[in-house]
Structure 1
C-alpha cells in the first residue's frame, strides 16, 4: 500500500471534507440546450416523486410558462408566494430567499438558475440565492441552458449571433452538483415551438427567425452533450482523487494577462476551457504600470469586470508592478513555472524605418519555453488604449510650466549669444529646458512638444535671418535634426526615470506597509490588539472609515473603528450594516459595495478568513469610490496577515489550555502517586501501634504505652498537616483560594504557629525574637500560620537534633521581614533552584526518617506571593539555612 494511503492525516482530511458535504445541501441541475426541452417539466416530475417518498418539498419559484402541461404539475406541491418588487412603475416577481430560509424545507425548486435579480434583492444573481440555500443545508432543484454557462458565452455568440447577458460561473455548475441532461430532438423542438407549446405565437415567430433555427439548435445540442461529458469526466477525476486520498499533481499551468481591452473576456473564457480540459492550474496576471492612475474610469471598470470574470472561472488572480509588461509576465512565468500562456490578438506597430516586435514575439524571445496561444477576436479595428488627451488639454499648470521653462531657456540663450558662447551652448540650454520640462510635468506629451518648440525657438531667435523661420544655411537643417533627436532622447529617458522612480516608491510604500503590519501584528499581545493594529493600518492605507467586527457581529455589535471622515460616520443605519456583516460572517463571502451581493450598500464587507474559518468582518466605507487595484492588493495582504495572526492567537490559546490541562493531569497523577507512597508509612505506624496497645495494654508498662501513644499522635499530626497542604494546593490549582485579609498581630501569628509544633520543641527548642511586639500586618492569619509551620517543620525535619532554630521579625520601611534560620547542614545550590517546585524533596535524610511529598515549601511560596510578598532561601553563616519572607505593615489608627 502507498504510504500516503496509510497516512492518518489524509484520512482525517477526507473525513472532514465529507462532513462538510453532509452539512451543505445538494444541488441538482436540469440541463438543456435551449428553452422548451422540458427542463422545468422534468424538475416538477422529480419533485412529485420525492414528495411521494416523504420528502418535504416546496416550490420556491417557477417561471410563468405558457405551457399548460408544465404548470399543471404545480398542483399538489406547496408554492411559496413570490417577492414583489416595484421597478420603474412595473411590479416584478422574484424568488423570496428570506421566506425560503425561514420555511427551510428539505427540498426546494428554484427555476432559471442564471436569472438576474432586481436591484433591491440581496444578491445580483439567482445562483447566489441558491448557494445560500445550499449553505443552509437545503437541497435545491434548478434549471439552466447551455448558453448560460460563462465559459461558453463566446462560442454560443458566434453560433447564434446573440450575446447572452444572464450567465453563471462554470464552478457552480461543476462543483459537487448532480446534472441531468434533458434532451429532445431539434426537429421535435421546432415542431413544439410552431404549435405554441413553448412561446406564444408572436414570440414563437420571432424566435424561429432568430435563435431557433435548425442549424443553431443542432450546434447547441452538440455543445451541451460535449459539456455534459466534460462534467462527468470532472466528477470521475474528483472521485478518483478522493478515493486515493492524494492530490493529482499536474505539470500544466496556464496563464492569461488581464487588461481593459474589450476582447479580454473572450481570452479569459478560452483559457478557462483549456485549463478545464488539461486539468491545469489557472492564473490571471495583471501588470500595473505607473500610468495606471491615468487610466480612464471606464477602462478601470472594464478591468475590474475582467478580473471578476477570471475569478468566477476559477483563476487565481495576481498583480505585478513594473513599467515593462512583457518583462514582468516573462519573469512571473519563469518563477511560477507556467507552461502555456493565452493571449489576445496582438498588433504590430509600424515605424518609419522598421517594424516593432509584437507582444507575443517579445514574449517568445524572453521565454522561449512557453507555449503561446493567440486568440482572435471579433473586433475589426485595433483597440486603441485611450491616453486621455483631455487631461493634457485641461491641465493648464503643466502647459504653463512648459512655456515658462522654454522662456527661461530662450532668455539664457540670449545671454549666451551676447557673451559669444556659440550655437552649441544655446542648443544645450534648450536641451536642458526639455529635460526639466519632462521632469516637472505629468505627461510624456509635454516633453515631445517641448522638443519640437525648442527647435522652432532656436531657429526663430538665433539663426540668421533672425525672427523668421527661413533657413538659409543648409548646416542649420542638420543642427535642427540633431537638436530635435537629442531633445527627444532626453525627454524619453527622463520620462522613464520618472516611471522607475514612481514604481520604486510604490514598491517601497507597499513593502513598508506590509512589513509594519507584520511587525505590529507579531508584537500584539492578544486578539484585541491584533484587530486594533489591523484597523489602524487599513485606515492609514485607504483613508476611509473602517469598522471591524471580531467574531459574529450579532453577538459583538460594537466594532473596532478607525474614523477618517467624521461627516460620514452617522450616515449608517446600525442594525442594517450589522445584519450585512452577520451575513458575511455566516456565509464566508464578501458583500456590499462593488460586489454582487447587496451592491447598493455604502460599505464593502470583507470576511477575515483562513480557508473555511472566519474570524471576523471588516466594513469599509467606500464613499462611492472603488479601491484602486494597487491599494486593493495591499489591503488583501493586510487582511491575510490579520487572519494568520488571529489563527495563531487561537492556536496559542488552545496550546495554553492544553498545557494547563496537561499540568493538572500531571499534578493529579503526582498527588495520587505521592499519596499512595507517603501515606503508607504513617498509616502503617498508626495501625500497628494501635493494634499493640489494643492487645497488650494491660501487660504493657506505662512508659512504653505512652511512647506508642506519642508515636500515634505524631503520625496523625503529620497526616493532618499533609491533608491541609493537599487541600491548599488543590485550591491554588483550581483558582479557588481566597485570602481572608484581616489586621493581625505578627507576634500572635508566630505564637499560634509554634503551638502546632509544640511537641517537637522539647528536642529542638525555637528561639523567637521580635523587634517590636506590636507589629501589625494585613494578612490571612490562618495561611501565614501554615507558612511558618511548614518552614519550621521543614527545618526540624532536615536538621539533626540539637540544632538551633530561630524566628526573628523586624520592620524595614513599610514592610516586615520574617526570618526562620537554622544552623544545620544547609542546602546545596542545586537544591535551592528546585526547592520551591512542587513534589521536589531534598535528598538529605530526614531526621524523623520520613521523606515529605514536596508540597510544603511550594505551598508557602504560593501563599506569600498571593499576599504580594516574596519567599527566598539563603545560606546562614557559618552554616545552616535562612528562609525569609516579607509582608506589608498595617498601621492601626485609634
Structure 2
C-alpha cells in the first residue's frame, strides 16, 4: 500500500510557526459582519475579564464611538495617549506604537484592525502595527468587519455597491490565534441603528438607505459565517499537517497580472479559489516590448496589483515575450499549473476578419487546462490606453533619420529609373528603406509613417504624370496598397525583432549578473569580500547607490556606502535611515521607500537572510523610480546568494572552532592520561621514602638516610622539570609567550644550562666544544636554557651510565648552530618523524622505569621555531644520536 506523502513546504511552514509561536504574542480578532454588531463592546468585556485574572492590560487605541455603553467599559482600563499627526491642516488621532512597545503590557487593545494610518506613520496600515506588537511578544485584541477582508472586497462591493478602501490580507486573518464571531440578527442591528446606538442621527439615515438593509446585512452575515468556517477548515488542515496525517494537493492556480484596473478583482477571485481548492498560488506577469512604454499611472497600478497578489499569498513570477498567450501557456506547462484565472478581454466584438482575443488564443495554446474568465462588470473603470503624443512617438533624431533614408531611397530610385529598371525594383528599394528605418529608429511609429510617405514619394517621382500625386493608370492603386502593406509589415517585423533582441539581451545581462554573483561569492572566504562583491553586482544590475549594514553580534555594524559613478552625493546613512535598517533587522521584513512601512526613507531596505537567520541589511536608493518585477526578482536572488555565502563562511569558522576545540579536548585527554600514571610514580616514591625516614630514622645508618634523601630529591626535581615543561608548553600553545630577545654569549647560555641539569648527569661525561671566536645570538636566554636542559636531560635519561655527551656551538652565515650528541643506543629510524610530537615517548625506556610524558622535545621545537630557527634529529657516528638547532646570530650593540 502506498503511503500518501505530505507536502514538505506545508510541513516546514507548520514547524516554523510552531517554533516561533513560543516568543510571539497571541492575536485575537473580534469579527463582525457590519458596524454596530458589538465587536468593540465584546473586546472591552473580554479585557475586563482578563484583568480580573491578573493580566496587565492597556487600551492602546479605541475608536471614539458615540455609544455610551461602549465608552463606559473603558473606565478601569489604562489607556495610552494617542499620537496626534497634523495632515493638511487637520489633526489626526493615531495609535502610538512606540509608546505601546515602551510600555509593553501583557495584553493591549487596538480597535479598527484594517485602519489606514496617517501619512508619516511608521506603517501604512494598522494591522502592520499589530504585527510588530506580536513580534515583540505582546498579546493583542482587535476588531474587524467582513468587508475589510481583502479577497472578499469585490463580493461585498457587488452586494452593497460600496468599494471599501481599508482592507487586510487574508493571511493576517487566517493566522490569528483566535477569531470570535460577534453575531446578532440583522433585524436587531437595524433596531440599534434606528435607536442611535450605532451612528448619529444624520449618519444613521444615510446608512439605512445605502448600506443597512435587511438584504445587505443578511448577505454579509452569511459571508462572515462562511469565512469563519473556512478559517476552521484551515486550522483543521494545519493540525493534520502537524500530526503528520495524510495530506496532499494537486491544484496549482495561476493568475495573470496586468496594469488593468480590473486586475485586482481577478487576483482576489483567484485567491478565493486557492483557498477553496487548497492549492498552490502563482501570479504571472508577462513583460512585452510595450511594457517599457507604459505611463506612470499604469506602472503604479501594476505594482499595486503585484503587491496585492503577494499579500494574498501568491508567488510572483515574470516571463518575457511578445506572444502573451504562448508565454502563459508555456509557464503553466513547465510549472505544473492546473487552472488559469484571467480577466475578460476588452476587445471589441469579433468580426469575420478580426484577430482572436487573448482568451481565445490562450484556450488554443493550452487546451488541456481549466481557464476561468472573470467578467468585469464595473464599467466605470474601463481601461483606457494612454494617448500617444507625437513628440514622444517620433523624436527629432528619428524624424531626421527617416528623412535621410527616404532621400537615399529616392536617389537610388532615380538611378534605377535612369537605367530603365522596372518599377518593381524601385518599389523594392523603398521597402528596403522602410526596413532600415525600422531598425535604426527607436519607435514603431516611424516605420508606419515611413511606409505611408514612401508610397507618396514613389507616386510623386516615378508614376505618370510625374511630379504630381495623380496617376493615369488605375492599376497603380493595387501597387500602392501592396507596397504600403509590404513595407509596413516588413518594418513591423524588423521592429519586433529589434525589440525582442534588446529584451533578450537585457534579460541575458541580468541572468549573467546572477551567474557571475554565484561564481564570485563561491571564491570569497571573507565576509567583507562577500559583501563588496555583492555590492558590485547589485550596482551593475540596478545602476543605483546602495548601503550595506553588516551584522555584528546582534546589532548592525557601521554602514558601508557603495555609489555608482557620477551619482548625487546625498546622505544615505542619516539617523533616520539607520533606524529603518535597524527595524528591518529586528523584524526581518522589507521596509523603506516603495513599501508600506517607513516609506519616507530614501532607500528600500531588505534583509540579507537565509530563512529566519539575518546576516545584514542592504539599502537600495530608489530616487523615486521603483524596481521593476524582474529587477526585484534578481535582487532577491543575489541577496539570497550573499546570505548563503555568509552562512558558509560562518559554518567554516564554526567547523574550525570545533576542530580546535576537539584538538584541545584530545590534548587534555592525552595529558590527563599521561599524568595519571607519571605523577603517581614519583609522588609514591617521595611519600614512601619520607615515611621510611620518619619511621626508621634512628635505626638507619648514614648511608641509607642519604640514599632516601637523594631519592626524594631526584623525584622532586623530576616533578619540577615536568611542571616547568607543562607550564611552558601551555603558554606557548596559547600564544601567551612573548620573546624577550637580546644579544647573548652562547658559552654563558650553555654554562647556565649545565648548572640546572639532572644530578644523574654526573654519571656521564659531558664535554662542551665551541669555536675560538665569540658566538653571539639574539635570543630569549631563559627559553634557550630550557631547550638545552631538555636536550641534555634527554641524553642523560636515554643513555647508559658512562656515556659521553658533547655540546657543540658554531656560526654558519647568519645562524648559530648548536648540537647535543651522545654515543648511546640511538633512536630507531621509524620513530624520528614523530620525535618532536607532543606526548610521543616512543618505545625507549628509562633506567628508573619512569615513562616520559613526551613534552620535552615538543617544547624544544616550539621555542626554537618561535625564534625563527629549526631543530632536527640525526644519527651520530659511529653510534648514538645528535640533536641540532639553529638560532639567529647577533651583533655587539655599541652604546654611546
> What is the Cα deviation at residue 692 of structure 1?
7.0
SS in 2 for 1:342: strand
Pair 1:78–1:352, CA change in 2 (3 A): closer
Q: What residue number does 1:295 align with? A: 294
2-structure distance, mates of 1:287, 1:12: 31
Query: Match for residue 265 of structure 2?
Result: 266
Measured in 2, the distance between the counterparts of 1:518 and 1:723 equals 53
Q: Distance in 1 between matches of 2:187 and 2:351?
A: 59
Is contact 1:60–1:110 with CA below 8 Å preserved after alignment? yes
- The worse-fitting range, judged by mean Cα deviation, of 448-457 and 251-260 is 448-457
SS at match of 2:274: helix
Matched, 1:513 2:513: yes
Aligned-partner Cα distance in 2 for 1:81–1:474: 87
Query: Are 2:657 and 1:661 equivalent residues in the alignment?
Result: no
Cα separation, 1, equivalents of 2:400 and 2:507: 31
Q: Does residue 586 of structure 2 align to residue 586 of structure 1? A: yes
Distance 1:732 1:544, change over 3 A: same
Decide whether aligned partners of structure 1 residues 602 and 717 sit closer, same or farther in structure 2, where only a CA change above 3 A counts: same
Deviation for aligned residue 1:61? 1.3
Residue 295 of structure 1 contacts residue 388 of structure 1 at CA under 8 Å; is this kept in 2? no
Which deviates more, 862-871 or 387-396?
Answer: 387-396
Q: Does the C-alpha gap of structure 1 residues 247 and 411 become closer, same or farther in structure 2, counting only changes over 3 Å?
A: farther
Cα 1:782/1:208, change in 2 over 3 Å = same
Q: In 1, distance between residues paired with 2:430 and 2:446?
A: 14
1:430 aligns with 2:439: no
**Do the aligned residues in 1 keep the contact of 2:393 with 2:445 (CA within 8 Å)?**
no
1:80 Cα deviation from its structure 2 partner: 1.8
CA RMSD, 1 decimal: 3.5
Distance 1:700 1:12 in 2: 83
Query: Residues 770 and 809 of structure 1 are in contact (CA less than 8 Å); yes or no, is this contact kept in structure 2?
Result: yes
Using a 3 Å threshold, how does the CA distance of structure 1 residues 805 and 440 change in structure 2: closer, same or farther? Answer: farther
Aligned-residue offset at 1:850: 4.6
- Does the 8 Å contact 1:295/1:387 carry over to 2? no
Asked whether 1:864 is paired with 2:864, we answer yes
| Whole-angstrom distance in 1 between the partners of 2:781 and 2:20 | 58
Which digits, 9 at most, give the CA deviation of each residue in 1:380-434, with x for residues without a partner?
Answer: 4974654855564452211221121121121122223334444344333323322
Change (3 A) 1:479 1:572: closer
Residues 590, 752 of structure 1: alpha-carbon distance in 2 compared, 3 angstrom cutoff: same
2:222 aligned counterpart, secondary structure:
helix
Q: Partners of 2:826 and 2:429 in 1: how far apart?
A: 93
**What is the 5 A alignment of 1:288-687?**
288-346=287-345, 354-380=353-379, 383=383, 385-386=385-386, 388-390=388-390, 392-393=392-393, 395-473=395-473, 476=476, 479-551=479-551, 556=556, 558-564=558-564, 568-571=568-571, 574-684=574-684
Shift of 1:705: 7.6
SS state at 1:164 partner = coil
1:658-699, Cα deviation, whole Å (9 max, x unpaired) = 222222222211111111233344445555666777778889
1:204 aligns with 2:196: no
Moved more, 382-391 or 733-742: 382-391
CA distance in 1, matches of 2:463, 2:206: 75
Give the direction of change, closer, same or farther, for the CA distance of 1:512–1:196 in structure 2 (3 Å limit): same
Equivalent residue number for residue 36 of structure 1:
36
TM-score normalised by structure 2 residue count = 0.90
CA offsets 1:592-629 (integer angstroms, 9 cap, x no match): 21111121222222222222222222223322222233
The 3 A distance-change label for structure 1 pair 874 and 148 is farther
Hey, what's the Cα distance between the residues in 1 that align with 2:431 and 2:877? 91
Mapped pair 1:718 → 2:718: yes
Could you tell which deviates more after superposition, 99-108 or 321-330? 321-330
Residues 51, 225 of structure 1: CA spacing in aligned structure 2 closer, same or farther, 3 A cutoff? same
Is the 8 Å Cα contact of residues 33 and 146 (structure 2) preserved in structure 1?
yes
Work out the CA distance in 2 between the residues paired with 1:716 and 1:370.
Answer: 92
Distance 1:72 1:472, change over 3 A: same
Query: Given the two structures, how large is their TM-score scaled by the length of structure 1?
Result: 0.91
Tell me by how many angstroms 1:109 deviates: 1.1
In 1, the alpha carbon distance for the partners of 2:159 and 2:878 equals 106
C-alpha deviation, 1:573, in angstroms = 7.7
> Do 2:344 and 2:376's aligned partners in 1 also have CA atoms closer than 8 Å?
yes
State the alpha-carbon separation in 1 of the partners of residues 610 and 113 from structure 2: 29
Instruction: Give structure 2 stretches of 5+ with no counterpart.
Output: none
* 1:302 CA drift (Å): 0.8
In the aligned structure 1, how far is the partner of 2:469 from the partner of 2:559? 71
Map 1:243-282 onto structure 2 (within 5 A): 243-244=243-244, 248-282=247-281
Q: Secondary structure at the match of 2:495?
A: helix
1:37 deviates by 0.6
Pair 1:724–1:657, CA change in 2 (3 A): same
Aligned partner of residue 551 in structure 1, secondary structure: strand
Question: What residue is the counterpart of 1:169 in the other structure?
Answer: 169
**Aligned partners of 1:678, 1:512: CA distance in 2, in Å?**
65
State the 1:855 CA deviation.
2.4
- Residue number in structure 2 paired with 1:135: 135
Deviations 1:684-726 (A, max 9, x none): 5555666777778889898888777666555443333222222
Q: Are the aligned partners of 1:31 and 1:181 in contact in 2 as well (CA < 8 Å)?
A: yes
CA contact (8 A) 2:576 2:601 kept: no
Q: Which residue of 1 aligns with 2:891?
A: 891
Equivalent residue number for residue 48 of structure 1: 48
> Closer, same or farther in 2 for the Cα pair 1:83/1:675, shift >3 Å?
same
Are positions 1:219 and 2:256 aligned together? Answer: no
137 and 691 in structure 1: CA distance in 2 versus 1, 3 angstrom threshold: closer
Query: Mean alpha-carbon deviation: is it higher for 752-761 or for 192-201?
Result: 752-761
> Structure 1 residues 218, 845: CA separation in 2 closer, same or farther (over 3 Å shift)?
same
Evaluate the alpha carbon distance shift between residue 761 and residue 536 of structure 1 in structure 2; reply closer, same or farther with a 3 A threshold. same
CA spacing shift, 1:699–1:100, aligned 2, 3 Å:
closer
Change in Cα spacing, 1:51 to 1:689, as seen in structure 2 (3 Å) is: closer
- The alignment partner of 1:406 has SS state of helix
- Per the TM alignment, residue 224 of structure 1 is displaced from its structure 2 partner at its CA by 0.5
Give the C-alpha shift of residue 144 in structure 1: 0.6
1:268-287 per-residue CA deviation (whole Å, 9 max, x = no partner) reads 11111111122212121223
C-alpha spacing 1:317/1:858, structure 2 compared with 1 (3 Å): farther
- 1:183 lines up with 2:171 in the alignment: no
Contact kept in structure 2, 1:539 and 1:546, CA below 8 Å = yes
Change over 3 Å in CA distance of 1:474–1:753 after alignment to 2: farther
Contact 2:761 2:796 in 1 (8 A): no
Distance 1:799 1:415 in 2: 114
Contact in 2 for aligned 1:340/1:370 (Cα 8 Å): yes
- How far did residue 146 of structure 1 move? 0.3
Q: Classify 1:251/1:754 alpha carbon distance in 2 versus 1 (closer, same or farther; 3 Å).
A: farther
Query: Does 211-220 or 17-26 show the bigger shift?
Result: 17-26
Q: Distance in 2 between matches of 1:784 and 1:574?
A: 58
Shift of 1:32: 0.6
SS in 2 for 1:326: helix
The answer to whether the 8 Å contact 1:39/1:143 transfers is yes
Aligned to 1:192: 192
- Checking the alignment, whether the CA contact within 8 Å between 1:557 and 1:578 is kept in structure 2 is no
- What does residue 121 of structure 1 align with? 121
* Secondary structure, aligned partner of 2:85: strand
Q: Which residue of 2 aligns with 1:73?
A: 73
8 Å CA contact 1:810, 1:816 repeated in 2: yes
